[in-house]
Amino acid sequence: MKRSLPELQHSAQPLVMVTAYDYPGGRHAEAAGVDLILVGDSLGNVVLGYDSTAPVTLGDMIHHARAVRRGAPGTFMVVDLPFGTYHTGVQDAMRNAVRVIQETGADAIKMEGASPEILGVVQTLTRNGIPVMGHVGLMPQTATAQGGLKVQGKDDASARATLEGAVALEAAGAFALVLEVIPARLARLISERLSIPTIGIGAGVGCGGQVLVTHDLLGVYEGEEKKIAKRYAEVGQISREAIERYAAEVRAREFPAKDNSFVMKDEVLDRLY
């Protein structure tokens, strides 16, 4: 049964969130019993082959989120608003958020940042009944402006800005907050300061929950080791080896075998000659 927003916010156990981008990903996540599924714009990197999340469109997000929802009808689903869909004003953000909710069956949307403009968007959406998950720390959509994909909040100014941004997002109405790639002690401080759940990725064990990109935890891409992730399987290696065995059997005429083929009566075949 899908957990309600109040249940998630008052969970006695750390919240478990994973990403999903398609029907099988949604099915697997729901079967595993996760608390939340994030249809992240990281699909640009791990599914669509882009080198950043910036090219991901609203149409991409809606297409993939609809597939995830079909696979996971009973799990709380959060969908990222991609770059450029909430930066051009409150009206555009509202219009795009409504599209996501209506067309995908999402339970909430997520957006990055805590600028005055973003806070205004969060406030407007939440006042109009759209749950918003915030995001501070490393923000992949605008990572170039942050100096690249690196740890945030290590110096006084950056740490204070991250803390103040988190506090402001809660005040604006965010129901939860992703803390990405910040020092563990800062993440714990923020988590203690807020009354809403924090969900960490590369932010230590002191958060109210954790999220990982499914492709990272499954080891879909061989040779990609990330400090913020743990590989719980080697699906990439298993997949490659399976395809190699298939190719070898086809070339040796070992597949399809008799068990994979269909038969017909001899007299039917004889009449064809």
Residue-wise pLDDT for 58-102, tens only, equals 999 999 999 999 999 999 999 999 999 999 999 999 999 999 999
Confidence class of residue 218 from pLDDT cuts 50, 70 and 90?
very high
- Residue 223 has what pLDDT? 80
Determine the Cα–Cα distance for residues 29 and 33; give it in Å rounded to an integer: 7
Run of H or E residues at 38: strand 36-39
Assess whether 180 carries a catalytic annotation: yes
Output the six-digit token pair for 24. 């099988």
Phi-psi region of 49 (alpha: psi -120 to 50; beta: other; left: phi over 0): left
Among residues 30, 164, 170, 180, the one annotated as catalytic is: 180
pLDDT (mean) for 40-58: 96
Determine the Cα–Cα distance for residues 150 and 144; give it in Å rounded to an integer: 10
Is 1 a residue whose pLDDT tops 80? no
Determine the Cα–Cα distance for residues 106 and 124; give it in Å rounded to an integer: 18
Residue 192: other Cβ atoms inside 10 A? 9
- Residue 149 has what pLDDT? 73
108-123 burial code (b ≥16 CB/10 A, e <16): bbbbbbbeeebbebbb
Is 144 a residue whose pLDDT tops 70? no
Question: Would you call the peptide bond into 256 cis, given omega within 30 degrees of 0 as the criterion?
Answer: yes
45 Cβ contact list (under 8 Å, min separation 6): 51, 52, 53
- Residue 216 has what pLDDT? 96
**Annotated binding residues for Mg(2+):** 41, 80, 112
- Residue 143 has what pLDDT? 66
Phi-psi region of 151 (alpha: psi -120 to 50; beta: other; left: phi over 0): beta
* Averaged pLDDT of the chain: 95
- The residue count of the chain comes to 273
pLDDT cut 70: percent of the chain above it: 98
- Residue 222 has what pLDDT? 86
- Residue 243 has what pLDDT? 98
Is 147 a residue whose pLDDT tops 80? no
Counts of helices then strands in the chain (DSSP H, E):
11, 8
Determine the Cα–Cα distance for residues 242 and 111; give it in Å rounded to an integer: 38
pLDDT (mean) for 29-40: 98
Confidence class of residue 190 from pLDDT cuts 50, 70 and 90?
very high
pTM beyond 0.85, yes or no: yes
pLDDT tens for 91-142 read 999 999 999 999 999 999 999 999 999 999 999 999 999 999 999 999 988 7
Task: Please list the helix, strand and coil fractions of the chain in percent, rounded to the nearest 5, in that order.
Answer: 45, 15, 40
Asked if residues 72 and 29 have their Cβ atoms less than 8 Å apart, the reply is yes
pLDDT cut 90: percent of the chain above it: 92
**Annotated binding residues for 3-methyl-2-oxobutanoate:** 41-42, 80, 110
